[in-house]
Every structure is written in C-alpha cells, then in structure tokens.
Amino acid sequence: MLSHYDVLVAGCGCAGFCAAVEAARCGKRVILIEKNDMPGGILTVGGNNDIAQFFSEGVQLIAGIGWEFCRRLEAVGGAVIPDMQAKDKPHPYYGVHVNIPLAAATMDEMLLDAGVEINYGQVLCAAQTAETPTGKRISSVLVTSKNGLREIRASVYIDCTGDGDLSVFAGANYECGEETDGTTALQPGTVRYYPSVRACDDATAARAGEALRRAMNDGILSPADMNAPDLRAVLSARGCNFNHISDTYSDDCDSRTAADIAGRQCVKRIIGVLRDAGVTDVIETVAPETALRETRRIVCDTKITAEDYVSARTYPDGVCHSYYLIDLHLSGKWSIRQQKLEKGKKPSIPLSAMTVSGIDNLLVAGRCAWGDRLANSAYRVKASCMAMGQACGAAAALASETTGNHCGNTRSIDIARLRALLAQHGCIVPPTAEDAPSEDTVKVSEFHQ
C-alpha cells in the first residue's frame, strides 16, 4: 500500500530525532523510519552516552530540541549537565551525560507528543526517483518490515541514517575518506562495553594492570584494544570510548559486519586477559554494534572546509552552530590528532551543506553533511547533529508547503523565513555575512596531539 506524508525522516539518531520532532511541531505529517528498535543511534544503541557541546566558553551556541531533550532528561534523573560556566576544563567535561534507557524513552515520548509516526525495526532499502528540470526528485522509497515491503511517498525527505544510505539509494554522489596526515584510512570505530562494577580494590587494580600491560607487550592485546592498560580507568569510563576498531567503511556492508565482529573480539580478548589474572565477571555486556565516527559525506551545494570551520566562517544561509574541536582518530592504534578552536570562534553550518546536490527534495543532516574530512571530524558530534537535524526539519516543513513545479523543493525556501522559524522554536541562529572567505581565515596546517 502506498502512503503519502509531508516529510519522511530516515534514521533516528540525534539528528533524525530532532528533525522529525521539528517537522511535526510545524504541523506536518511526518513518518520516521529507523532500522533499530530503539531511537538514539550512537547515543543509545552505540553506547556513547555523552552529548557535546552545547556551550562555548560559557556561552550557549546550540539550544532548541536537543537542549530541551537534555533538560527533560535532567528533570527525571536521566542526565547530568555539567557547570557550563566552569573555565579551562578538558573538552570532555562539557558533555551532557545521559542514562541510555531514559534517553531512549524520552525520545519516544517527544516523538509521540509531536505526532510523528514512528516505525522502528524497519530498514530503508531503495529509492525511486523522477527527472526534473533541475535534476531529479525522490518520488518514493521502499522499506522492509515484518509486514513485508512498503512503498512510502513524501514531499520532502531527510537523510539522517548516519551513513547516507537514502542519499546513495537516490543516486547522490558522496566522498568517503581522503588523504589526511598521510593516510586515507577512515577513523576507527569504537565498541562500548559495560562493566558490572564501578570500583575495585588496590590489589585487584594492580593485578589487572600488570596482566593488561603484559598482554600488550606479548601481542595478546593490540595497541588499539585499550587506550590505557588500567582497570580503574576502564571502570571510571564505564567502558565508553576506550578502544579503536579500525578498517571500517560505512559504504560496504561486509566491512560493517567485520567491524561488529572485530569489536566483540576486542572485548573477548580483554575479558580473557582479566580472567587469567583472576579478575572475573567485570565486563557483563556489550553494545550491539560498533559505533562509527567517519562514514560517507554526501555531496551537497556547499562544502565546509577545515579552514571554514576553524575560522568560524559565516554564511548567508547559516542555520545553526557547531562547536567542537577538530578530532581525528587514527586508524590502527589508539591515537588522536586534535586542533582546538581559538577563543571566540563559533563555527556555523549553512543549509546548503545539507541540500543534496542534484536532488530537489532531499536534505541530509548529521555526520553526512558535506565537508572535508577534518571539518567533518568536528561537526559530526551529537549536539551539532541535533542542531543540524532541527534545521533540516524546519526546512523540510517549509519546503513541503511549496506548490507547483517547486513542490517540496528544498532550494525554494525563504532563508529569512527559515531562520525566523528556528529562532521562534528556541534555536540559536548564527549571524550571516556575504559568502566570501574572511581575511582572517585560520589555516589548518598542523595538528596538536
């Protein structure tokens, strides 16, 4: 049976969640398609349950639905929001830490309250397109479910799959990796595991530490299996963001499968070393998938370069801020190359970095928005994805109101009207300027490890 909606959102990670809620709050008929049986993506299913960053130097840059979500969670004991006015803390300090089941349940509630039609456990598998005078448009998509194949039609589509699946099915061009720092390998993923305890005594810590160090020296554990051979560090981090799973490519299903297998094998090795040292039953479960950092970058109308990002270039169609340091994790080992933003720099994201090139009625939000590899390593984080998602949700709502030959056309949107709508809905909208590089553009010429 063919169904028709104003807006279809593919994927319910941080970007898709905010996109769907925003479009529905704008009064549109919205359908959400999510392959997992839980919303949240990397935040929940992937187990990386910190959201960064909403503030820069004590000044809030990202608000809207993402921040509302955090405050709602805080009210039910499901989020720890740090003191954002604290100065000179390491950047992880400013992340909002959330409880995974409460986060997923709160997302459910906000989606339902907005009137979104939720479809969990359903997988997008194809897109039908039709030619237009300016390129083409998506006419419908196919989704698999327990009820079989379903064809769904919408005026506007938003790709929040994280891997750009909808865009690629529709024929969009994409980039996946590029030579940076002498390598073309994508950033490694990370598998989250969950310790059963939060602390250990001195004797256990010493015994485990010695065993882990010996296993690394003997090659039983790889250099990427743990960022430190320290059981107390593992327990303090709750097994979050503590390993690197390399050779992952989101545009290849065999690679994704291999990454998930490799992630579990990594945890198995750690458990084996600890058990041989007499430290048993410390790790009790693992996230169902290896969370990826770097995937496809969909070719859109504007490409954000690292120089654009670190110099906080402004755009005539800027719709949201992003705030995070350039953060490139290196494949094959535990190593990260970073470049912090200069004080006062407040990067922004233009709508044109999310309007998919050659396709009239498709937007892409989240880590697949178009930028070079270094810029992407910064704006891929969750708070930025939430801001991009809400901006695309509002843009899709406005595009769905266009008629005639421009019906659903994302390039027919009045940017001033979009920016006003976002501000009305509690977003912090960046300033605009002429679309030209600033004279004080910062060059990304080196990394700081």
Residue ranges of domains in the chain, CATH in brackets: 2-178+295-424 (3.50.50.60), 193-286 (no CATH)
Task: Report how far apart, in Å, the C-alpha atoms of 275 and of each of 33, 40, 144, 228, 269 are.
Answer: 42, 33, 42, 18, 10
Residue range 221-240: mean pLDDT, rounded: 92
> For residue 84, how many other CB atoms are within 10 A of its CB?
17
pLDDT at position 1, please?
Answer: 53
Q: Tell me the C-alpha distance between 86 and 229, whole Å.
A: 30
The answer to whether the CB of 58 falls within 8 A of the CB of 85 is yes
pLDDT at position 440, please?
Answer: 40
Lowest mean pLDDT among 33-37, 335-339, 340-344: 335-339
Average pLDDT over the chain reads 91
> For residue 218, how many other CB atoms are within 10 A of its CB?
9
Q: Tell me the C-alpha distance between 271 and 277, whole Å.
A: 10
**Closest by CA position to 326, among listed 343, 307, 350:** 307
State the burial class of residue 77 (Cβ atoms within 10 Å of its Cβ: 0-12, 13-18, 19+).
exposed
Residue range 180-184: mean pLDDT, rounded: 62
Residue range 4-23: mean pLDDT, rounded: 98
Q: How confident is the model at residue 407 (pLDDT cuts 50, 70, 90)?
A: confident
The encoded tokens of residue 379 equal 């704006």
The encoded tokens of residue 193 equal 């595991």
Q: Is residue 443 scored above 80 in pLDDT?
A: no
Q: Is residue 179 scored above 50 in pLDDT?
A: yes
User: Across the chain, which distance is largest between two alpha carbons, in Å?
Assistant: 74
> For residue 80, how many other CB atoms are within 10 A of its CB?
14
Task: Report how far apart, in Å, the C-alpha atoms of 321 and of each of 54, 61, 151, 347 are.
Answer: 9, 6, 35, 6
Q: Is residue 447 scored above 50 in pLDDT?
A: no
Q: How confident is the model at residue 235 (pLDDT cuts 50, 70, 90)?
A: very high
> For residue 330, how many other CB atoms are within 10 A of its CB?
20
Q: Is residue 160 scored above 50 in pLDDT?
A: yes
Q: How confident is the model at residue 404 (pLDDT cuts 50, 70, 90)?
A: low
Q: What single DSSP character describes residue 366?
A: S
pLDDT at position 141, please?
Answer: 97
The answer to whether the CB of 316 falls within 8 A of the CB of 434 is yes
**Closest by CA position to 42, among listed 243, 189, 248:** 189
The answer to whether the peptide bond before residue 424 is cis (omega within 30 degrees of 0) is no
Q: What is the pLDDT of residues 140-150, one digit of tens each?
A: 999 999 999 99
pLDDT at position 184, please?
Answer: 65
Q: Tell me the C-alpha distance between 359 and 137, whole Å.
A: 5
Tracing tokens 């390998």 back to the chain, one arrives at 185
At 224, is the secondary structure helix, strand, or coil? coil
pLDDT at position 339, please?
Answer: 85
Backbone angles phi, psi at 407, to 5 degrees: -55, 120
Q: Is residue 436 scored above 90 in pLDDT?
A: no
